[in-house]
Amino acid sequence: MSIHRLPPWLPLSLAGLSLVLLPAAYMAGWLGDLGQVKPALAAISREQQMAQWHQAHEPQEPPVSAPEAQAQWTDALVTLSWPKVSGATSYTIYRAASDQPLSQASPLAKISNRSYTDTTVAAGSGYTYWVAADNSAGQSAVSRAVAVHTYLTWAAVLKIGEGDARMGNATAWSTSAWGLITRQSAPAPMPIWNLGGTLMTPDRMASPSSTWFTKRGIRWRLGAARLSPEASGGVLRFTGSVSIPDLPVGQATSENLALWRQGSHWTSAVVESTLAPLPPNALILNQNGQAVGMTNAAGTLHP
């Protein structure tokens, strides 16, 4: 029986091959594990980057500047607006009654934009607003107080104009040079208002001219009191001892109400300007129910 011996070089070759294949297998396994670990490491890296970004951008203090707020209003709403405040991510609006300080104000809203419309107001009412800028670190100082007084409705303005008027009587008369013949027309009712202490009416009855033969004029009375008129700019101002409710005087607003008497009825119209031509012989009231002035027969406003 013969025994075959392995060549002496074969064991050495196999040993060398194992030394070569072992690191390769190890490397292949390492690369496979790395393929699974790499996404997890990337996710951790992204989270770290986001955390670092947020930390770098996180406010360290509240906004330094207070908003510069301003307001516009009607009879039914108030709109506040303000420029952007550096470092602010939101804004808080506070409101109080017109006679109350900030300590009695209540937060009305917290918003991210730079304007706010308050639709919970009542017509003809006063309010005070403040606006503060916010971020995650806190709140800025509040803005200066913004005081508003909402307009009255046109129905309320009309009621003021009609209610404060008193009807006077203008009577035209004429007398001959010798006083032998005297004639008087029927009294014409005319509205008279007390505008800040001055009795006034639109001059719809021009004083008749006199001649050498006939003297003419117009007598004004309010109840039993006689009034002395003085024409100025197409309207009449009176002096006399009478009592009429004092209608406050104010400046024109963007829209105003013209009120005049047409026969036995009141007529009114909303006008967008106080420039001529306006309705003639009318009282002009602003949106706060204050008298702006009167127009003459040409529709020109006179204070």
- Write the pLDDT tens digit of every residue in 69-86: 999 999 999 999 999 999
Q: Which residues constitute the domain of residue 111?
A: 70-150
Cβ atoms 150, 124 nearer than 8 A:
yes
User: Is 276 part of a structural domain of the chain?
Assistant: yes
In a domain, 139, yes or no: yes
199 and 139 within one domain: no
- Tell me if 84 is assigned to some domain: yes
Interacting residues of 179 by C-beta distance below 8 A, sequence separation 6+: none
CA distance 294 to 258: 9
Taking the C-alpha atoms of residue 283 and residue 302, their distance in angstroms, rounded to an integer, is: 10
One domain for residues 141 and 168: no
Q: Which residues contact 147 (CB under 8 A, 6 or more apart)?
A: 98, 126, 127, 128
Same domain (yes/no): 146, 160: no
pLDDT for the residue numbered 178: 74
pLDDT, residue 242, reads: 81
Q: Are 236 and 200 in contact (CB under 8 A)?
A: yes
Q: Judging by beta carbons within 10 Å of its beta carbon (0-12, 13-18, 19+), is residue 151 exposed, middle or buried?
A: buried
pTM confidence score: 0.74
Which pLDDT band holds residue 154 (cuts at 50, 70, 90)?
A: very high
Overall average pLDDT of the 221-246 stretch? 88
One domain for residues 182 and 123: no
Q: What is the CATH number of the domain that holds 131?
A: 2.60.40.10
pLDDT tens digit string along 255-302?
999 999 988 899 999 999 888 889 999 999 999 999 999 999 999 998
**Domain end among 93, 119, 150:** 150
In-domain check, residue 260: yes
Residue 1 has pLDDT above 50, yes or no: no
Q: Identify the DSSP state of 241.
A: S
Band (pLDDT 50/70/90 cuts) for residue 44 is low
Q: Are residues 201 and 282 in the same domain?
A: yes
Range with the lowest mean pLDDT among 6-15, 150-159, 194-203? 6-15
Domain boundary among 124, 150, 176: 150
Among 102, 148, 108, CA closest to 127: 148
**Cβ within 8 Å of residue 110, ≥6 positions away:** 90, 91, 92, 93, 134
The answer to whether the CB of 85 falls within 8 A of the CB of 112 is no
The chain-wide mean pLDDT, for the chain, equals 86
**40 vs 112, residue with greater confidence:** 112
d(CA 303, CA 290): 12
Q: Are residues 214 and 140 in the same domain?
A: no
Amino acid 41: pLDDT:
57
The Cα–Cα gap between 5 and 268 comes to 131
Q: Are residues 239 and 135 in the same domain?
A: no
In a domain, 35, yes or no: no
Kindly state whether residues 78 and 187 are assigned to the same domain.
no
| pLDDT for residue 172 is more than 60 | yes
- Most confident residue range from 26-40, 108-122, 204-218, 267-281: 108-122
Residue where a domain terminates, one of 132, 150, 168:
150
Joined tokens for residue 71 = 């307001």
In a shared domain, residues 282 and 203: yes
**Residue 185's pLDDT band (boundaries 50, 70, 90)?**
confident
Confirm if 282 and 202 have CB atoms less than 8 A apart: yes
Task: Judge whether 177 and 215 are in contact, CB under 8 Å.
Answer: yes
Is there a single domain that holds both residue 298 and residue 166? yes
| 201 and 118 part of one domain | no
